[in-house]
Amino acid sequence: MSWWKICPVFFLLSFSPIRAAITLTFTGCPASADLNSQFPVEISLSCPAGCGDSYLRAVFYTPKSTNYFGFTKNNGGEWINSPGSLATRYFHLAPIDKSSPVASLSLDVKPDPSDKYFSGPGDYFFKVGRYTSDNSPALWSDPVAISLSGPPPTVTPVPTATPVPVPKTTSTSVPPTPRITPQPTAKPTLRPTLTPFFPVQSAAASPIADPPLSAPAATPSSVLAANILSVSVTAVPALDLSVAEDQLASPSRLPGIALMALGGFVMIISAYLLLKKSSKISLP
């Protein structure tokens, strides 16, 4: 091989930039742990060329899955179990300078048996990841096996607040004002006062013709006629038939009043007939 063919390759290798890899390791993870216990792991982050802000998260997961669960305590003492998109809530590690490229720290972790990805006591994997603030893919450490045991924590039911019945406001009902229906005023029935009036004719004595100068001899029939004609018919006094209004209005006195009126009428008719009869008698 000619030397002029080797020189370009050597030249490219000599001036190619060598980028140092960032490595993340941990120690202190137990082979088994209780579901309700927590434990610390020792973290070592190496950045030979230096690196920016780091956010560290510890996770548990089943051998055939990448669904992570578990709590990590952050700088403020909060136990965080958030997805990677909220990685800035995890433990924050300040930027590492290349002059001191390795950072070591202790990280507290614990399982989360209430998570939906926890499938009960058994074998799991454990590892630690590094996130950045620009949401770049996480850098993961090598996993180790861990066995989680113990009964899941008893979930204390949260007492449901019993609704307090609100008393209904009873409105004082005002009784309706009775409607007064105006009753028609009874008008007194005007009963006409009947004042019976019966005309009484006073019969005057019929004039008797003067006997002729040459009067015939007296006979029994002529004597009788003279006696009848000489009788003056005395006028029947008018009966005071006016009855007080209150007497007429009394139903119990009407029969008596009627009888009195009838009697007076009969007397007047009798006197009239007697007078008429006496006026029709002719001399023989």
Neighbours of 1 (CB within 10 A): 5
- Please give the angle made by the CA atoms of 212, 215 and 216, to the nearest 5 degrees: 145
Question: Quick one: pLDDT band at residue 69, thresholds 50, 70, 90?
Answer: very high
**E-assigned strand segments in 114-228:** 122-131, 139-140, 144-149
Q: What is the pLDDT of residues 12-39, one digit of tens each?
A: 444 434 456 999 999 999 999 999 999 9
When the candidates are 2.160.10.10, 2.40.50.140, 2.60.40.2550, 3.40.1360.10, the CATH number that belongs to 19-149 is 2.60.40.2550
Can you give the residue ranges of every domain in the chain?
A: 19-149, 220-279
Q: Are 257 and 243 in contact (CB under 8 A)?
A: yes
Beta strands in the chain (DSSP E): 23-27, 32-34, 39-46, 54-61, 71-73, 79-80, 91-93, 102-110, 122-131, 139-140, 144-149
Counting every residue written for the chain, the total comes to 284
pTM for this predicted structure: 0.49
Distance CA(91)–CA(74), nearest Å, equals: 4
Q: Report pLDDT digits (tens) over 140-185.
A: 999 999 999 987 656 566 667 677 776 666 656 666 676 777 776 6
User: Which residue, among 139, 280, 269, 248, has the nearest Cα to 199 in the 3D structure?
Assistant: 269
